[in-house]
Chains A and B, each alone.
Chain A
Amino acid sequence: MRYLPLTHADRKDMLSVIGAKTIDDLFVDVPGAAVLDGPIHGLPLHASELAVERHMTALAKKNLAAGDAPFFLGAGAYKHHVPASVDHLIQRGEFLTAYTPYQPEIAQGTLQMMFEFQSQVARLLGCDVANASMYDGSTACWEAIVMARRVTRRGKAILSGGLHPHYVSVANTMAKYTGDVLDTRLPVLGATPDTDDLIGLIDADTSCVVVQYPDILGRIADLSALADACHAKKALLIAVVTEPVALGAIKSPGEMGADIVVGEGQSIGVGLQFGGPYVGLFACSEKLVRQMPGRLCGETVDAEGKRGFVLTLSTREQHIRREKATSNICTSSVLCALAWSIHMTLLGEAGLRQLATKNHIGAIGASNVLSQVPGVELVTPVFFNEFTLKLSKEARPVVRQLADKGILAGVSLGRLYPGVESLENGLVVAVTETTTEEDVATLASALREALA
């Protein structure tokens, strides 16, 4: 029990200071019937560091890591190269093992980083202000819908068919209980997203329209007309970005008039990690800031006039407003936000643009090669680093077949939209700077074989 420093002698001394005979005296308030008299039966006892390491390593080896295979999965989580210094810096104990900065005088490191993160996120998404992170993109998306309800005092949200189906699923779960009305639709396997079609759906009950950019099939479309249409009907436009690297190459949703922009930050600085922890991005215009959920860091001065940072506007939050709070969120994802911020600082604007260009060129090259394969058709001519192929047969078994050969081919729309026949031949393929030409050639030849 190497993590417990008390010795038997210490425990004895301490019990005598307390005035208790045995440790059981300190548990007298537990009803007798609920007391356990020894370690719970059926669970192993403590183990050495070496033994635990062996056990966990054996479990890890049962997985096919992304880096060990030609890899093309995206659909909301992306494999990018993270510079070594990012992980080194977030493992510094002063960041890793610090608490929420409620005592700002000895938490300026975390607070200044949060302020920098907020500033970076706001600029990237094209908004005035951002919060200091949410759990992930999907929960940030629901929080944005709730915020739009609060701002507009209307309860109907229109969700684009291009929105990640898991994000739609999260919203559906919550709406069932909160009374929000969701107008949701399925994507159509075609070249353009439903951006223009959504305009006609906006009415006097609409709180917001939610679109993803680039969308679940990798498509991008100008959001300006949709933003204007929302504003004309006093509704909000919420844009969801699941691949923020894209914003190094394409216009931000904020520039095109989105009122709230949320995102999944995972692709910058945070690894795949089988789905979490990730980092939710959340930005909006300045006038909406008091309706924003989550944690905010603000600039101020100390008693000597020196610049410093504190958590602020906490009057929106659960620890003051209790049941009237804007959200029940208490934790954010600060360590992941730190990783995001460090990676973004290393990139800078110049590096981000290069990274985005490299992703885009690689994806163009891959789409050219793959669409030469008989039985493969590129359905999305406009994209950033992710595009959708239509295969001559159902994509899901093809993906499984290729995985057995050690190729992680992409995300089949059959997995994301089970039972939707019109989508089952769709395969979403993501290409990043980690994808090599050999990877693409391997996938092409395996697809050629599988579709023959």
Chain B
Amino acid sequence: MSTINQSGWRPTTPEKGDSDTSTFTGNRALMLEEPLIFEIGSTETTGVDFDFEPGMGAYEDRLGGLARTAPIGLPGLSEPETVRHYTRLSRQNYAIDLGLFPLGSCTMKHNPRLNERMARLPGFADLHPLTPVDSCQGALEVIDQLAHWLITLTGMHAVAMSPKAGAHGELCGVLAIRAALDARGEGHRKILLVPISAHGTNPATAAFANFTVEDIPATDDGRVDLAALKARLGPDIAGVMITNPNTCGLFERDMREISDAVHAAGGYVYCDGANFNAIVGRVRPGDLGIDAMHINLHKTFSTPHGGGGPGSGPVVLSQALAPYAPLPFVEKTAGGFRLVEEETADEHHAGTFGRMVAFHGQMGMFTRALTYILSHGADGLRQVAEDSVLNANYILRSMEDLLDAPFAKSGPCMHEAIFSDKGLPEGFSTIDVAKGLIDEGYHPMTVYFPLVVHGAMLVEPTETESKATLDQFIGAFRSVAARAKNGDPTVKTAPHFAPRRRLDETLAARKPVLAYKEPAVAEAAE
């Protein structure tokens, strides 16, 4: 792979007789095709310069005979080629900066650039995690201030900051439950009850932490079946993992009663806080009897999702679970902030279940989240909840005459509205409506989740969308839904105008190609 494009990659060439719509390059004006770096780079090209070192290369190495001999096969590009490659790739992506991202349960809201600027201040961005604590007091103060906001907003007792993402926060919460039960000498409580509408991470997390999962059914109105839950409580139950507001977009009215019943039976209540943005500033989970809840910082506090991460999942804890919080954490003392780690965990923190990550968690996300929180203040955050709920109900009521809305009569929805594929003609399904929306210039809503609704379409507009944006989206959504209901065959073949038509996901799974191979190698493997 030492010369450019040895692989023989070339863009799609025009078919004969199709010259009106085909181009020589395969590009279409601003829609540019982009090869892989392996097809355009070479192992001799580099986009970086190093200072000239007279003796470099002619030194005696100290590598103990382990110096690399075989080529690695890493392609390089010059700086201008690199900038173009990634800029071109970026244009194949939908993003919140381009338009509404109505993803239920995933909360894609505006990402303020002030957050980015603050996270890049050298005092935060260029700070080593093992730097002596006297040299990082400002960073510890950021963690402490964010912790204070999270505890106060949720009405809880303590917070574990280190979990790296929402699902990692779930793990932190259930490990705290495990540690508390063990401390009580009740290690036999091994069952976690999980409603069937839960995020898939909930049961996966429980299993990863060695709990046994049992499902709890939902009622017809989309909430946890309280009677079924109560009937299952007993001395073998460690607790319940519940999502509130739930994934049907509804507030669990019986939350207090659920918590009381679980506590009375000796268990703990874990709440999946993925949807906290719907209630922040209006309801404190601590007042509902919750023992542990993770907060996805990107969802409620606008840290960027970046195409699938990084996340950050601090976990707020009740008084009962606080002693078991993981290490490390920050403590305010008379002389400044100190870092409580393995060696400094005194009798006060003796119950800690241990360390979950190498360092202190997602500091870069903490800076962004704190910046966002300070910008909004207590009043702005309350407005966040109100506007997100208002926007979701506006969409629910603007669509329910056209699309089946299974819980339209279950009370107001919270921050997300749910629809089903009921009423679509034979051969048309949720996926067709979703792909149709792509042609209208929108990212589709969440589809086929939650599982309790057939062909679910879960729409979450968030609070950062204007009424004009919502009105245009509703118009597009209605148009696509109406075309599907009328059996318009072009909906079945959507998208027509995206960088790619429908992709063959079955082929990808049946014959997995997960890494680039030079054509000669790939052929030999056939």
Contacts and interface: CB of A to CB of B under 8 A. Distances in A.
B256 A276 contact: no
A176 interface: yes
Contact of A119 (B46, B153, B283, B516): B516
B59 A275 contact: no
Contacts of A35: 282-283
A14 interface: yes
A328 B282 contact: no
Contacts of B120: 87
Interface stretch (A136-144, A200-208, A231-239, A439-447): A136-144
Nearest to B326: A173
B357 A75 contact: no
Interface string A317-361: 111111111011111111110100010111111111111011011
Nearest to B178: A177
Contacts of B251: 27, 29-30
A299 B507 CA distance: 9
A418 interface: yes
Contact of B76 (A304, A323, A338, A348): A348
Contact of A61 (B138, B204, B206, B363): B138
Nearest to A61: B123
Contacts of A275: 129, 357-361, 363
A73 B200 CA distance: 40
Contacts of B263: none
B288 A34 contact: yes
A264 B137 CA distance: 25
Interface string B296-334: 000000101111111110000000000000100000000
Interface stretch (A105-113, A182-190, A369-377): A105-113
A319 B393 contact: no
Contacts of A353: 68
Contact of A303 (B47, B137, B501): B501
A110 B308 contact: yes
A100 B120 CA distance: 24
A312 B449 CA distance: 18
Given A271-B126, A345-B47, A347-B76, A170 B64 contact: no
Given A34-B284, A62-B123, A275-B360, A351 B47 contact: yes
- The 8 A-B residue pairs with the shortest CB-CB distance, nearest first, are A348-B76, A275-B359, A335-B306, A60-B123, A62-B138, A93-B97, A173-B354, A418-B343
B355 A348 contact: no
Contacts of B37: 116, 345
Interface string B106-137: 10101110101111111111111111101111
B501 A304 contact: yes
A45 interface: yes
Contact of A351 (B46, B73, B359): B46
Contact of B358 (A11, A132, A164): A164
Given A11-B387, A40-B284, 8 more contacts: A39-B382, A101-B307, A170-B354, A172-B355, A177-B210, A276-B362, A309-B503, A358-B50
B41 interface: yes
Given A63-B135, A135-B168, A273-B363, A10 B284 contact: no
B363 A64 contact: no
Contacts of A355: 48, 50
A328 B207 CA distance: 8
A2 B364 CA distance: 23
Given A13-B467, A172-B354, A276-B361, A349 B74 contact: yes
Contacts of A364: 59, 62
Interface residues of A, number: 209
B344 to A, nearest CB: 8
Contacts of B355: 166, 169-170, 172-173
Contact of B501 (A26, A33, A56, A302): A302
Given A31-B256, A222-B65, A364-B59, A302 B500 contact: yes
B309 to A, nearest CB: 4
Nearest to A298: B508
A334 B89 CA distance: 14
Contacts of A136: 164, 357-359
Contact of A352 (B72, B125, B178): B72
B110 A67 contact: no
A433 to B, nearest CB: 7
16 contacts: A1-B380, A31-B255, A43-B378, A45-B379, A90-B306, A95-B86, A105-B495, A107-B307, A114-B307, A119-B515, A166-B358, A249-B63, A298-B514, A302-B500, A328-B201, A358-B56
A330 B360 contact: no
A97 B304 contact: yes
Contacts of B469: 5
B389 interface: yes
B305 A99 contact: yes
Q: Which of A15, A52, A104, A251 has the most CB of B within 10 A?
A: A52
A361 B56 contact: yes
A128 interface: yes
Nearest to B143: A274
Q: Which of A42, A64, A105 has the most CB of B within 10 A?
A: A105
B210 to A, nearest CB: 5
A449 interface: no
A208 to B, nearest CB: 18
Nearest to A354: B50
Nearest to A400: B132
Nearest to B48: A351
A106 B283 contact: no
Interface in A3-36: 3-7, 10-11, 13-15, 17-20, 23, 25-31, 33-36
B208 A327 contact: yes
B283 A297 contact: no
Interface string B240-252: 0000000000110
B483 to A, nearest CB: 18
Contacts of B371: 52, 56
Contacts of B164: 135-136, 139, 276-277, 331
